[in-house]
């Protein structure tokens, strides 16, 4: 397949003029991190991209798709979601919108609903949100357990998730469940022992909610270290609701990502800037909890790699829309449109330590979205408008 007549192609190819991400503030094209090609074409062979370049130089083929002078971007890489759950938390959201503040305690509501759901109900829910996300351009997603919190329920969540993605994260350490409230140490022992043994076969990653009211720095270190010994790579829910040790711990353990990053000291920013750990920002959570935005500009200016994801979950961020997160990041987190699109594609790939997604370069998976707009900038410029008009995943047209 050759897709031709693309007005703007986002490749994220660093060799096509990665300035610094900062230079995209004033330039497009050469200085953008997006590796833009104007009047472009993409060649797909099987599940891979085999060629990108100017339309006039595209190889001839029978199977031509005319993009009609619109933009093509890499499919979004949503590197942070919590999609194995049952029930909803409308009432809690309503209470917040009338002035209550968010607390991690709401997680227990979803835990109760999830435990009593059947496999088929969880599967149906998961499929529903994945379909929703795909229609909005997401072609790679990570998802977590964390609403089971028993050996069986955590393993079940991961088993279901693993049918849909390779990016599966064990989050037995989401909160201490009610039955262990009197003895958190016993729960940490379960998470690092029997539960880990049952979950590790289905997961690639291990995560901890390192936060007041969830797990402290020492507990988080013990959990992530135990996971690492079982071959799982760390990622951390860090510094969301308060300042704390999460980001420093993520860097210390070479975690792929520190997620949320709303409350950071200068030392935290500096540690991220001198590490491989990506800062994954989740503006849907600040939107839905009426919290302060993470300061993306501060991170970018310090040289931190930033990813942008949905955090889709029924409590703190019930959106599956990466375009919505891009619009928020540009409007409220002082990212440029180019930076936000990079962070939602190549940034997400970096947060999953992947180089075969999040870019449209020869050898990468043919995961791409055709926008009903002449450029990627419209994702922020036209907020709330469903601009994704076609999606290819692994070379197959899905939308």
| For ligand NIG, the closer CB: 15 or 98 | 98
Residue 316 marked as a ligand binder: yes
| For ligand NIG, the closer CB: 24 or 309 | 309
167, 286, 311, 338: residue in contact with Fe ion (rule CB under 5 A): 311
Degrees, nearest 5: CA angle 355-285-125: 75
Distance in Å, CB of 288 to ligand NIG, minimum: 9
Q: Tell me: does residue 237 bind ligand NIG (CB under 6 A).
A: yes
Residue 19 marked as a ligand binder: no
Contact string 2-31 vs Fe ion (x = CB under 5 A): ------------------------------
338: enclosing H helix or E strand: helix 337-342
For ligand NIG, the binding residues in 266-295 under the rule CB under 6 A are: 285
8, 138, 145, 240: residue in contact with ligand NIG (rule CB under 6 A): 240
Please state, in angstroms and rounded to a whole number, the distance separating the CA atoms of residues 40 and 56.
Answer: 8
Please state, in angstroms and rounded to a whole number, the distance separating the CA atoms of residues 332 and 294.
Answer: 9
Please state, in angstroms and rounded to a whole number, the distance separating the CA atoms of residues 280 and 385.
Answer: 24
CB 246 within 8 A of CB 217: yes
* Among 138, 143, 175, CA closest to 159: 143
Please state, in angstroms and rounded to a whole number, the distance separating the CA atoms of residues 212 and 214.
Answer: 5
For ligand NIG, the binding residues in 18-47 under the rule CB under 6 A are: none
CB 139 within 8 A of CB 76: yes
Distance in Å, CB of 277 to Fe ion, minimum: 16
**SS3 of 133, please?**
helix
Those residues whose C-beta lies under 8 Å from the C-beta of residue 376, and which sit 6 or more positions away, are 8, 10, 34, 71, 73, 337, 338, 341
Residue 365 marked as a ligand binder: no
Distance in Å, CB of 144 to ligand NIG, minimum: 9
Contact string 144-183 vs ligand NIG (x = CB under 6 A): ----------------------------------------
Residue 237 marked as a ligand binder: yes
Provide the binding-site residues for Fe ion, judged by CB under 5 A: 311
Provide the binding-site residues for ligand NIG, judged by CB under 6 A: 82, 106-107, 110, 209, 237, 240, 285, 311, 313, 315-317
């Amino acid at each position: 397949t050759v897709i031709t007549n693309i007005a703007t192609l986002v490749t994220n190819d660093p060799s096509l003029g990665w300035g610094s991400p900062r230079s995209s503030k004033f330039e497009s094209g050469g200085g953008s991190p997006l590796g833009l090609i104007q009047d472009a074409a993409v060649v797909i062979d099987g599940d891979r991209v085999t060629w990108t370049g100017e339309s006039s130089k595209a190889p001839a083929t029978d199977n031509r798709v005319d993009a009609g002078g619109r933009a093509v971007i890499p499919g979004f890489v949503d590197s942070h979601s919590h999609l194995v759950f049952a029930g909803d938390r409308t009432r809690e959201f309503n209470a917040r919108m009338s002035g209550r503040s968010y607390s991690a305690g709401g997680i227990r509501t979803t835990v109760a609903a999830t435990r009593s759901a059947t496999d088929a109900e969880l599967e149906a829910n998961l499929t529903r949100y994945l379909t929703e996300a795909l229609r909005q351009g997401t072609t790679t997603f990570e998802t977590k357990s964390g609403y089971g919190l028993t050996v069986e329920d955590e393993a079940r969540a991961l088993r279901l998730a693993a049918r849909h993605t390779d990016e599966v994260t064990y989050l037995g350490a989401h909160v201490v469940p009610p039955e262990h409230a009197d003895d958190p140490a016993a729960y940490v022992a379960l998470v690092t022992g029997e539960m880990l043994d049952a979950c590790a076969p289905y997961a690639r990653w291990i995560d901890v909610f390192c936060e007041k009211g969830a797990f402290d720095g020492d507990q988080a270190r013990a959990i992530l270290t135990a996971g690492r010994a079982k071959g799982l790579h760390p990622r951390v829910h860090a510094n969301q609701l308060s300042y704390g040790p999460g980001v420093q711990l993520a860097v210390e353990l070479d975690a792929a990502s520190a997620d949320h990053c709303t409350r950071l000291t200068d030392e935290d920013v500096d540690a991220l800037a001198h590490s491989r750990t990506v800062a994954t920002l989740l503006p849907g959570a600040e939107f839905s909890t009426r919290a302060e935005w993470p300061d993306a500009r501060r991170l970018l200016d310090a040289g931190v790699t930033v990813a942008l994801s949905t955090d889709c979950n029924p409590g703190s961020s019930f959106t599956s829309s990466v375009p919505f997160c891009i619009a928020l990041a540009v409007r409220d987190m002082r990212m440029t449109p180019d930076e936000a699109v990079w962070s939602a594609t190549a940034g997400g790939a970096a947060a999953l330590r992947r180089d075969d997604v999040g870019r449209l370069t020869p050898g990468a998976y043919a995961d791409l979205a055709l926008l009903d707009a002449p450029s990627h900038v419209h994702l922020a410029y036209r907020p709330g408008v469903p601009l994704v008009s076609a999606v290819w995943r692994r070379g197959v047209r899905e939308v």
